[in-house]
A and B are shown apart, each in its own frame.
Chain A
Amino acid sequence: MNPTKLRGWPLTFLLAGVTGLSIAPFYWLVVSSTRKDTEVFDWPPKLLPGGSLGENLSHLEQKIGLLRVVGNSLLVAGVQTLGALVVALLAGYAFAKFRFRGRTLLFALLLSTLVVPEQVMLVPLFKMMMNLGLLDTYQALILPGLCVPFAIFLMRQSLSSLPDELLDAARVDGAGELRVLFSVVVPVMRPVLAALSIFLFLGSWNQFVWPLIALRSPEMHTLPVALATLHGNKANTDYGAILSGTALSTLPMMVLFLVLQRQFISGLLAGATKG
């Protein structure tokens, strides 16, 4: 082995260490969620997965109504992602491909809320949903997440680089604007849309503060709210159940991430790398 190759080893060890620390908690989670709840805190910790995952999940179903809760999460995240995607696509298309009065002003207005912390909106949104009688409903969770200024910004940026000739060709052929958008623009933009969907879905799947505030009844809970509530209930000592729920909220995303890593990384870093 030549000396240049050898020089790489200290860095490789460092990276192995950082990677090990990044992954170890997941491994522990897999082991703990597949073992009996009495074994979670064995000393030394158990190193191999067991066969109790099904039992843990069925305990969790009894405690929080797991299926219903996962269904809530999927429904809210799915509808919100789709809605926010369409809103952002339409608005981004308008900003990128049309000249109209108020364009700069409206765009600046939309972006201005990027610097306002989410917490500012919590009290007014709560009041609004209370007055509309929408507390504890899916609408309360979905509606505030439909306008994502960052997504609009990203769509505008990506659509700007789309050649006008492509659109004009379709218009000459007599296609209406929506036809142009959905049969010409969308197919070309698929990679960006995929990355943005992942960004939106992950954000929605994991959102916590607002659902915590807007929801009352356990059967409306999303997975993070249900887990946090069960975790906060000190009377519950079924750690196997709660950790299997944690695994369930995390591991599907991990698998999806490993399959679609390129879209994940560009989705989560969207905008970041352009500095």
Chain B
Amino acid sequence: MTAAVPSVTLAKDAARAHRNARRRRTAVPYLLLAPALLTFGVFKAYPVVDSLLLSFTTGSGSASHAAGLANYRRLLDDPLFWTALRNTGEILVLQVPLMLGLALLTAVGINSALVRWRTVWRLGVFMPSVTGLVATGVMFAYLLKADDGAVNWLLNAVGLPAVDWLGQPFWARMAVVLVLTWHYTGYNAVIYLAGLQSIPRELYEAAMVDGAGPVRRFTAITVPGLRPVLLFTIVLSTIGTLQLFDEPYVLTGGGPDNATLTVSMYLYQNGFRFFDFGYASAIAYALTLLVSVLGAAQMRLMGERDT
């Protein structure tokens, strides 16, 4: 029975090896997560907390000291902050419905079996969303020049008066609306298109049998079928517009006369022109509050229609 001894030790070895392997296994997920957790902790979580703490301080560097709610109180009394908020709100209220309406129409068009060359339209409308925002801003700053820009030439060509796009407060905001709409309509249209294609065709066929016209089919089948993507795009566009920075920075520099100053631009000015870190952080948290409240409200509103 000499063979029994090695077989026992073999079994013991195997058991130990198995235990070791299992211990290694339990360590594996943490090792895999280590790079993500490290970079997350240092470059995401810590800044979020630090920013909150900073918003309760004033002064800069080693001279900074606790200031309680002073920054937030200052914010409420700061006319320029309210101007920035009003500008952002006005751009948001005009731009998001305009763009999403146009995107929906485009998507329904591309999805229609009656339409020719659908691939061409789908590619064409998506192209602007591949462009960077700075490039877009620079391009439109020249396209929209008042006296010799191509857009005004086009307006004149069809008999419309030229517009002082970047020089008049109202038109400067419209220029921002225009640029945002140009940039993101196709992106949203392609999202809607994917949503439309997931609605079963039988629903439309059944509705046609029941004698429902195109409008009725749109309101009774298309819109409810698209609700999740509609919600997604509304929330995403709202959040994105609230954080608006690149386009007005390049296009108008916030002018004329602060007419296109946005909350993010005001944050940037305070943080990195005046180096008032405490105040800039307070603006950042006011923005966060706004983003979460508006986002949550929209989800609530759209979600409730479910029941």
Tell me the A residues contacting B by CB distance below 8 Å: 4-5, 7-8, 11-12, 14-16, 18-23, 25-26, 28-29, 32, 40-45, 86-88, 90-91, 93-95, 98, 100, 103, 106, 109-110, 113, 115-128, 143-144, 146-147, 149, 152, 177, 202, 205-206, 208-209, 213, 224-225, 227-228, 231-232, 239, 242-243, 246, 249-250, 253-254, 257-258, 261, 264-265, 268-269, 272-273, 275
Asked if residues A144 and B32 are in contact (CB atoms below 8 Å), the reply is: no
Whether a CB of chain A sits under 8 angstroms from the CB of B246 is: yes
Total residues of chain B contacting the partner, CB 8 A: 96
A-B contact pairs, 8 of them (CB 8 A): A11-B109, A23-B127, A116-B48, A123-B54, A177-B32, A209-B268, A246-B139, A265-B126
Q: Which residue of A lies closest to B114 (CB)?
A: A8
**A273 CA / B28 CA spacing, docked (Å):** 32
Chain B residues near A113 (CB-CB < 8 A): 40, 44-45, 48
Question: In the complex, which residues of chain A have a beta carbon less than 8 angstroms from the beta carbon of B186?
Answer: 22
B102 at the interface (CB under 8 A from A): yes
The 8 closest A-B pairs by CB, nearest first: A8-B114, A275-B228, A206-B132, A19-B124, A91-B36, A124-B47, A98-B29, A147-B39
A15 and B50 contacting across the interface, CB-CB below 8 Å: no
Q: Given A41-B148, A149-B44, do A258 and B123 touch, yes or no (CB 8 Å)?
A: yes
B44–A147 CB distance below 8 A: yes
Q: How far is the CA of A143 from the CA of B44 in the complex (A)?
A: 11
Q: Which residue of A lies closest to B118 (CB)?
A: A15
- Across-interface contacts of B271 in A (CB, < 8 A): 122-123, 126, 213
B130 touches A12 (CB 8 A): no
With a cutoff of 8 Å between Cβ atoms, the chain B residues found around residue A209 in the complex are 245-246, 264, 268
CB closest chain-B residue, reference A256 = B130
A103's nearest neighbour on chain B, judged by CB, is B29
Contact B29 A117 (CB under 8 A): no
Q: Is B59 an interface residue (CB 8 A)?
A: no
In angstroms, Cα B218 to Cα A185, docked, is: 43
Q: Report the minimum CB–CB distance from A120 to chain B (whole Å).
A: 4
B250 interface residue per 8 A CB criterion? yes
**Cβ-based interface call for B238 (8 A):** no
Tell me which of A88, A124, A250 contacts B132 (CB under 8 A).
A250
Given contacts A115-B292, A231-B250, contact A127 B277 (CB under 8 A): yes
Residues of A within 8 A of B8 (CB): none
User: Which chain B residues have a beta carbon within 8 Å of chain A's beta carbons?
Assistant: 26, 28-30, 32-33, 35-37, 39-40, 42-48, 50-51, 54, 102, 105-106, 109-110, 112, 114-117, 120-121, 123-135, 137-143, 145, 148-150, 153, 157, 182, 185-187, 190-191, 194-195, 228-229, 231-233, 236, 239, 242-243, 245-246, 249-250, 253, 264, 267-268, 271-272, 277, 280-281, 284-285, 287-288, 291-292, 295
A177 B36 Cβ-Cβ under 8 A: no
Asked if A123 meets B35 with Cβ closer than 8 Å, knowing A41-B149, A249-B135, A275-B228, the reply is no
A197 to chain B, nearest CB (A): 14
- Whether the pair A121, B127 counts as a contact (CB closer than 8 A) is no
In the complex where A14-B105, A106-B37 touch, is A227 in contact with B134 (Cβ < 8 A)? yes
B295 neighbours in A (Cβ, 8 Å): 115
Bound Cα distance A227, B6 (Å): 75
Contact A206/B133 with A117-B284, A125-B43, A147-B44 known, Cβ cut-off 8 Å:
yes
